[in-house]
Structure 1
Amino acid sequence: MPNPRPNRVLFLIDSLGMGGAERMLVNYLQHLDVNRYEPRVCVFGVRDGNPVAAEIERLGIPVDLISVPRIRDFINVMSLVRYLRLHQIDLVHTQLETVTVHGGIAAKIVGIPTVHTLHTFAYPNATARETRRTELVWFSLRHFHDKIIAVSAAVGDYAVSKGRVPLEKISVLYNGIDTRSFSPRNSADRVSVRTALGIPDNAALVITVAVLRREKGIQYLIETWPDILKSVPNAYYLVVGAGPYESTLKSLAAKHNITDRVIFAGPRNDVPDLLRSSDLFALPTLNDVLPTVLAEAMASGLPIVASRVGGVPEMIEPDKNGLLVSPADKIGLANACIRLLCAPNEAQRLAEGGRDIAEARFNVRNQVQKLETLYEELLKKPMPNELAQ
């Protein structure tokens, strides 16, 4: 008797720009067991040319486009139903928003299980339109999806309290990283990376990697940098990333006359090297579900200073792998950075603790195995064709 074919899993996502959910999708696809699961990716739109699509296709995984401009364009549901049947999809895994509604309805019509990964909280200052959109997504998660993967316990609790999603539907699964891609710094590499950036080898280097938005709180660290320099005269701040708040942050550095100490590196494809060349990772974010970059920093052997918000306390344990401060607390932020920059033994102890936590909680290989187990459980359950009856 021939072996059954692998289960066909469709990963539905709004688009394939350079966002966190898109990057995380690549991480998981790289490690999915192709003997058990045959992945396929479908997007509803194009963002910045969908650069991540090329990475997925290089893995030998097809990427398709079904154009759905708006979340309320329900006429496209039947196009998705035909697509699911054409490719004999066994399970749908949705990410982000628009695909959540359409993917859930289409999967119910076809009679196959659906999983959704919840990456974000709702908009903090939502417009009426955004609120209606969010309510539509919550409705879909309650009625059309069989399992909700929360990337942190904090966002899982949020889904239950704000979205009225049944608790039994929630499974917490932290985002995974390839810990082998991040390793403690090599002294020769450290010097060359710093030289290319114009940073002295003996500098006390603090790094932040983030999309440059107001919500990342980088402005608070820039504003307090003159205070840090009083205690750590050789301190430099490396800001890696791009975004709508970049010009504001640069103006702030100029206002405080620290443009020679705050280096804006822009978006980079050598983040592991930059992390290995730094001494401390700072993330003064105002809210975050589960910032994967903290796991990358831990795996790179960096102690961490971060805000006590969202899912961050699930990653950073005070005095074990970093220090937590209140959001927007410039004094607390400065004191925490100064403390670790001036105490190399403590910083090294926290760095070692971070590497252990990164390997135990955020190794993508372990996380993919957990994801595959969840798929297996859903595929074994009978799925009634509820909407077709």
Structure 2
Amino acid sequence: MLKRNNIVYIIDGLGMGGAERLMIPVLKYLDRGMFYPRVCVLQDKDGNPIADELRQLGVQVDFLPVSYLREFSAVPRIRSYLQNVNANLVHTQLEFGNILGGIAAKSLGLPCVSTVHTIPSLEKRRKMKLHNMLELFILRVLFDVTIAVSEETRNYYVKFGRLNSTKVKTIYNGIDLSQFIESQKKEKRGIIRAELQIPSSARLIITVAVLRELKGIQYMLRAFPALLKKHPNTYYLIVGDGMYRETLVGEVEKLGLQRNVIFVGRRMDIPQLLSASDVFVLPTLTEALPTVLAEAMAAKLPVVACAVGGIPEMITEGVNGKLIPSKDPQALTDACEKLLDNPEQTTAMGEAGWQIVEEKFNITTQVNNLKELYLSLLSS
């Protein structure tokens, strides 16, 4: 009988960010005959809503409270925890999961993997803080493998982070396509639109993101008045929450867009919301590999996104969407207009997007790649 290895995932928190949400499909499809996963959470983020989803999958979630993420006195507690649960391999995510988890795991001689989900903007690189430099140092020195979620991310960590190129491996994030097949039924679209009081004949543009300044939603809001002049029966749905929400609401009021812009906050029914929409927009200023784009493509939506980070690895201009410069409201207006003017093209782009997700960004491929990596580290 094969030994079942204990894989411990250490993460800052289980809020609604991309890295956190990605744990759901990974742990749902990870081979439980070979691996026993458990998650160690260091802080409370918005009540850690993802924890409940993971528990429903039968995953043990342990809360190891760290009062602040620079609390290096937590390392001995994490070390004791790893010993108590008989960890065989540690997989860390996010900045202080990487720092504190990496130190604790390596002090026990455990194989250690990290996934890096972000590419810092040029401004952030110029203002890099001590803890950012410490994270890069720990990734460089302590980790057996660092998983980059895109080739652009890998290039950043090899070039700017000076990680050994042989220890940085690109594994694209994958999504669970089954939930999108169900959500595409026409009656589901009607139910969502009725709930949001959006007419069935209206065109609906959607953005799903944590509401931060770097997500660039303010530029889409500035693009929207010009778009409404040509397509007055258009609505813009903003899904997500965050510290920047009040600023965005103020921008909507200043531009007089209250009738056509809808904030719905944090939602768990993302596939249904996407399938009720017509165009997905991600006006982000920096991104590694946004999983939400794969979700939009799985919902057969054409995508308008900024050509930053790993996005051009997902979106091909004119094939499954449109690539535009960042911080450019006029480019957003023009791209959305072209899609709304050409419904046949949007349908073709949606179908192309589905094919790309099925080939490159599905959860089966990601989990198989992780399985191979884990087994190679456990056997060495």
1:22 aligns with 2:20: yes
Distance 1:58 1:85 in 2: 25
Structure 1 stretch displaced more, 59-68 or 118-127: 118-127
The partner residue of 2:59 within 54, 58, 61 is 61
When normalised by structure 1's length, the TM-score is 0.92
Distance 1:72 1:278 in 2: 41
Structure 1 stretch displaced more, 58-67 or 320-329: 58-67
Partner of 1:13: 11
CA distance change for structure 1 residues 331 and 215 in 2, over 3 Å: closer, same or farther?
same
Partner of 1:357: 356
Partner of 1:337: 336
Tell me the amino acid that sits aligned with residue 85 of structure 1: Q
Q: Is the 8 A contact 1:122 1:134 kept in 2?
A: no
Partner of 1:103: 101
Cα drift, residue 125 of structure 1: 4.5
**SS state at 1:238 partner:** strand
1:190 aligns with 2:180: no
Structure 1 stretch displaced more, 312-321 or 11-20: 11-20
Q: Which runs of 5 or more structure 1 residues have no equivalent in the other structure?
A: 382-389
Cα drift, residue 297 of structure 1: 0.6
When normalised by structure 2's length, the TM-score is 0.94
Q: Is the 8 A contact 1:32 1:368 kept in 2?
A: yes
Cα drift, residue 146 of structure 1: 0.2
Structure 1 stretch displaced more, 253-262 or 167-176: 253-262
Partner of 1:367: 366
Tell me the amino acid that sits aligned with residue 59 of structure 1: L
Q: How does 1:22-61 map to 2 (within 5 A)?
A: 22-61=20-59
Partner of 1:208: 207
**SS state at 1:182 partner:** helix
Q: Is the 8 A contact 1:70 1:98 kept in 2?
A: no
Partner of 2:157: 159
Distance 2:366 2:280 in 1: 24
Cα drift, residue 202 of structure 1: 0.9
Distance 2:75 2:208 in 1: 38
Partner of 1:270: 269
Partner of 2:289: 290
Partner of 2:88: 90
CA distance change for structure 1 residues 205 and 67 in 2, over 3 Å: closer, same or farther?
closer
CA RMSD of aligned residues (A): 1.9
Distance 1:86 1:155 in 2: 34
Cα drift, residue 126 of structure 1: 4.7
Cα drift, residue 190 of structure 1: 2.1
Cα drift, residue 22 of structure 1: 1.3
Partner of 2:257: 258
Cα drift, residue 26 of structure 1: 1.9
CA distance change for structure 1 residues 187 and 146 in 2, over 3 Å: closer, same or farther?
same
Structure 1 stretch displaced more, 217-226 or 50-59: 50-59
CA distance change for structure 1 residues 340 and 64 in 2, over 3 Å: closer, same or farther?
same
Identity of aligned residues (%): 44
1:242-295 deviation digits (Å, cap 9, x = unpaired): 222222222222222221111222222222111111111111111111111110
1:140-196 deviation digits (Å, cap 9, x = unpaired): 101110000001111111111221111111111111111111137333332232122
Cα drift, residue 130 of structure 1: 6.0
Distance 2:235 2:95 in 1: 39
Cα drift, residue 327 of structure 1: 0.3
Cα drift, residue 127 of structure 1: 10
Q: How does 1:311-350 map to 2 (within 5 A)?
A: 311-350=310-349
CA distance change for structure 1 residues 80 and 196 in 2, over 3 Å: closer, same or farther?
closer
Distance 1:357 1:223 in 2: 31
Q: Which runs of 5 or more structure 2 residues have no equivalent in the other structure?
A: none
Distance 1:289 1:33 in 2: 27
Partner of 1:231: 230
Partner of 2:170: 172
Count of aligned positions:
379
